[in-house]
Amino acid sequence: MNRREFVKGAALGVGMGAIGAMGVYSYSPMRRAFLKDVKRGTADIGVCKAVRITNISETSWFDNGVFMQDVTGAGGLLVDQYTFNWAPFGNGKGVGKGSYAEGIKQIKPLLPNKLEEAWAIAQEKSVHADNAGGFSCLVEIEDMDGNVTKYLFDTGWNYVWMDTCYKREGIDTMLANNEIKAMIQTHEHMDHFWGLPAVTRYNPNIHIYTPNSFYPEGKQYIKDCGHVGKVTEVPKGLHKIQDGVALYGFDCPIIFRVFGEISMYCNVKDVGLVSITGCCHQGIILFADTAYKELAYEKDQFYGLYGGLHISPFDDWDPKYDDLVIGLKKWDLQKVGCNHCTGLITAQKFVDAGYPVVKGSARFRSKTTNYLGNGDVIKFPS
Amino acid sequence: MAEHDIPYLEERKLIKRWRGPLPMLANLALTLSIFAVTWWIFQDPRGVMRFYTPYVGYNYCRWWLIILIWMAYIFDFWPFKKDWVRHAHPVQKGVVLSLVSVGIMILIIHGFFEGVLGNTAFAYFNPAQLQKLPGITEFYAVEYAAQACMMFAVIASWISPAWIVALEGRPWENQKQPVKGLSIWIGTFCLSLVIYFMTMHNHMGILYYPWQYFTAITPPYWENFAHTVSANFHVAWIMCCTVVVWFMEGIWERYPFCLIKTPWLRRFAMFFGIIAISVSLCFFFWYMQELVWGDAIRGHRRDAAPDWRWLHVGETAIFFLVPALFLQFYGGNWPNKFSTQVNVLLRTLIVIAGGIAVYCLYYKYAHFLLGTQKGFSHPQQFPMIPMIWLINIWLINWWFMDGWPGWRRELRSAEEVRAGERAIEERDTWHPAMAPGLVVGIVVGVVVYFAIVAALPWFSAHFTLVQ
């Protein structure tokens, strides 16, 4: 045997064998031999009796065209939100030229009690301050003994708008009376978080849950808003907060330089799992799939879903969103209350596809009855 | 072959100016500096022009790549005179040719696609036409138009070099410039257009609500096979084709297809062989993700989404192109002292190691260094943009600037070029004594494949790249 020629052939053969195996095996049904089967989750978070959600505000911004004009001007969806020069952190230098430090300096002495004055400064120094709205909802959990625990989900964006909405739904009084056990800050986005002084104004001691991935500006803002209560940073994974209710931290990169989001699972006795989300940047399929892989829940039924489902928040579209509309069918949802960043086209596609979308009243600047709009209430079970 | 018929890139011989790794380090420092400055000016979301939206920036860098390939590979620098190309200072050539390439790029994107096709044929190429659709914002109109245009570039960046590398420029190889260049350009452009219709047009049809059933086939024919209606499925295998073409031309020295001595058979075998190898890689990169992250889930928005998994196949391929081109250009296609087969195998191993290193570095540090999204799977996360941006700069340095400052250029005579081709011809021959080794090698290759497949879940469980 010619050793030199053998080595040449062997060198050639290794490549051919490896590439050949890649082509023949890697996408064939045989490949499943090396893939783990998905196991049903068994974590027990207990049960609750019912869940009631009041939509305080789902309108994060009022004009999508104006909002996207800012996004375009600043350089796109990946630009750091604190540099947009959006209210309340405006410095008067124009779109895309802001910073947290310069913005907060001008309003910090007024927080949290002189919100109107602070917002007036923000209006002057920021871009399109009047376009800002916010996302916030009240989640009421009835336990098996009939006691109700209230959680505030997010704090919106525009101080004045949020304050008005809180007063409309009586949240100001609930906060002042310590009726709300905790605030769940789902993620760091401006439309969910920057309205925080509208909460700390009434209760600076409120217990706040945040993802453990806030950027330094976000952590500082909580302090700058006059908050003096407990802050719990929720890491990736399951975090039970009471019987039948758990938060779940998702590590996910998000536009405007934000990372991580927490959502809520509620296990409703004899009904199934109800999932509540701020923006659901992790995606609703991952949201559902995570519950399936980790939790044991009543009747093995993924029953209900509420919140912004973050599919086409800017009325954009992509074929992968159709994958979602098609793929959601297998979860057999019984009740969906969607709004906010779900997207008007998506909500319409859900309705067209026959999903059980709970219609809203389209009041207080909500745009469609396909959304569970501002001031609307959804209950699980009905 | 007369001297004026030899393409410039073939007639030149690049000689290191200094011994050891100095030339490589000098060029690396220069090109990385240019990358850093230009990235900040043009692409970085924290920088000046912020083209990384991401599709606007992706469209530009992708088209720039094609223009560079056209100028150097297809048109052989025509209409610039050979004399100027041979004797102008590398920096002068780099600046002039780069500016011309950018000018052509703008003309093609905004003139032809946006202006001509967008106003006379396909509305989705033109943001202003797209904005006539109720509800669509200017931002997304620009993004969709850029995406449509970019998708054409994805196909052209495979077909254009494949025509030269695999089909050896046939049937126009003996024509003079510009006939040769224009013929190949029109041929590859038309072929790319046909492939575009069959792979990407359906994707654009789904962007509208309701789906444009009567102008594009929706849902597309690949839906059940790829588990998505997104054309990212095609981006996956086409990106692999783009990468394999350059592997074939560079680190693989057209091996093993150069063993085929019947010209027409060799050309077709290489053209379709590139596709076969690419599809194999494409499936493997998909499988790797299943092994590491678990099954794909239709409708998922992140790392389990089938459309993103296919996109990530293409992204993964590009991570391996970076070390391959670096090794070919600045590493002198090292090693060279063994037989071609062994050299090719060793280079491939080096490129695999390099690609894994670049992949890890990117996902660990790009968020801070390049201003891109943290993590793997955000819809706005496009590692192909910085990778191709860097590749563009290397192509300019190597093709337009003759490897300045680390290398100087000498010219080979027609006789030297012919002698070189004859030597390669004689070297690359099949010998029956290779057969036993080939059989053993194939078995080893299959074993290695399954060893990797078995090891990946373990690595996934014990190693976290992005916290």
Q: Which of A97, A164, A160, A162 is nearest to A127 (CA)?
A: A97
Q: Is the pLDDT of residue A48 over 60?
A: yes
How big is the A-B interface in CB pairs under 8 Å? 297
Q: Is the pLDDT of residue B4 over 90?
A: no
pLDDT given for residue B344 in this prediction: 97
Which among A9, A257, A285 has the least Cβ separation from residue B297? Answer: A285
Burial of residue B106, with CB atoms counted within 10 A of its CB: 0-12 exposed, 13-18 middle, 19 or more buried: middle
| Three-state secondary-structure class, residue B385 | helix
pLDDT given for residue B2 in this prediction: 53
Q: Give yes or no for B229 touching A (CB within 8 A).
A: yes
Nearest residue in chain B measured CA to CA from A320? B230
Q: Is the pLDDT of residue B449 over 70?
A: yes
Q: Are B90 and B401 in contact (CB under 8 A)?
A: yes
CA distance A108 to B304: 42
Inter-chain touch A80–B300, beta carbons under 8 Å = no
Q: Which CATH superfamily is domain A50-60+133-380 in?
A: Ribonuclease Z/Hydroxyacylglutathione hydrolase-like (3.60.15.10)
pLDDT given for residue B16 in this prediction: 97
Assigned domain for B336 exists: yes
Inter-chain touch A345–B209, beta carbons under 8 Å = yes
Structure tokens at B228: 């998505």
Over residues B241-268, mean pLDDT: 96
Looking at chain A from residue 55 to 74, which residues have their Cβ under 8 Å from any Cβ of chain B? 64-65, 68-69, 71-72, 74
pLDDT given for residue B62 in this prediction: 96
Nearest residue in chain B measured CA to CA from A311? B301
Starting at the edge strand that comes first in sequence, how are the strands of the sheet with A258-268 ordered?
A237-242, A245-254, A258-268, A272-277, A302-308, A335-339
Question: pLDDT of A347-375, one tens digit each?
Answer: 999 999 999 999 999 999 999 999 999 99
Q: Is the pLDDT of residue A318 over 90?
A: no
List of residues 6+ apart from B453 with CB closer than 8 A: A25, A34, B287, B291
Q: Are B363 and B465 in contact (CB under 8 A)?
A: yes
Number of domains in chain B: 1
Q: Give yes or no for B444 touching A (CB within 8 A).
A: yes
Split at pLDDT 50, 70, 90, the class of B211 is confident
Inter-chain touch B448–A4, beta carbons under 8 Å = no
Which among A5, A68, A255 has the least Cβ separation from residue B434? Answer: A5
Nearest residue in chain A measured CA to CA from B220? A319
Q: Is the peptide bond before A112 cis (omega within 30 degrees of 0)?
A: yes
Q: How many residues belong to chain B?
A: 467
Q: Is the pLDDT of residue B335 over 90?
A: yes
Average per-residue pLDDT for chain A: 95
Q: Give yes or no for B268 touching A (CB within 8 A).
A: no
Inter-chain touch A252–B378, beta carbons under 8 Å = yes
Inter-chain touch A6–B437, beta carbons under 8 Å = yes
Q: Across the strands, what pairs with A184? A: A153, A209
pLDDT given for residue B112 in this prediction: 97
Q: How many residues belong to chain A?
A: 382
Measured in degrees and rounded to the nearest 5, phi and psi for residue B314 equal: -65, -40
Cβ neighbours of B440 in A, within 8 Å: 6, 9-10, 13
Inter-chain touch B302–A21, beta carbons under 8 Å = no
From the CA of A157, how many Å to the nearest CA of chain B?
22
Domain range summary for chain A, segments of one domain joined by + = 3-34, 50-60+133-380, 64-132
Assigned domain for B13 exists: yes
Question: pLDDT of A325-342, one tens digit each?
Answer: 988 998 999 999 999 999
CA distance B435 to B239: 33
Q: Domain range spanning residue B147?
A: 3-430
Nearest residue in chain A measured CA to CA from B288? A26
Split at pLDDT 50, 70, 90, the class of B467 is low
Q: Across the strands, what pairs with A152? A: A138, A183
Assigned domain for B293 exists: yes
From the candidates A1, A5, A31, which should be mutated to test the interface with B, based on the most B CB atoms within 10 A?
Answer: A5
Average per-residue pLDDT for chain B: 94
Assigned domain for B304 exists: yes
Q: Is the pLDDT of residue A143 over 80?
A: yes
Cβ neighbours of A14 in B, within 8 Å: 345, 441-442, 444-445, 448
Cβ neighbours of A98 in B, within 8 Å: none
From the CA of A274, how many Å to the nearest CA of chain B?
19
CA distance A342 to A280: 9
Assigned domain for B375 exists: yes
Please work out, in degrees rounded to the nearest 5, the angle formed at the alpha carbon of residue A26 by the alpha carbons of A20 and A32: 140
Nearest residue in chain A measured CA to CA from B287? A26
Cβ neighbours of B320 in A, within 8 Å: none
Assigned domain for B226 exists: yes
From the CA of B454, how many Å to the nearest CA of chain A?
7
Q: Are A69 and B138 in contact (CB under 8 A)?
A: yes
Over residues A252-256, mean pLDDT: 90
Assigned domain for B436 exists: no
Q: Give yes or no for B335 touching A (CB within 8 A).
A: no
Assigned domain for B464 exists: no
Inter-chain touch A21–B373, beta carbons under 8 Å = no
Q: Give yes or no for B258 touching A (CB within 8 A).
A: no
Cβ neighbours of B431 in A, within 8 Å: 2, 5, 8
List of residues 6+ apart from A64 with CB closer than 8 A: A314, A315, B135, B137
Question: pLDDT of B56-93, one tens digit each?
Answer: 999 999 999 999 999 999 999 999 999 999 999 999 99
Which among A17, A26, A77 has the least Cβ separation from residue B380? Answer: A77
Which among B280, B290, B444 has the least Cβ separation from residue A22? Answer: B280
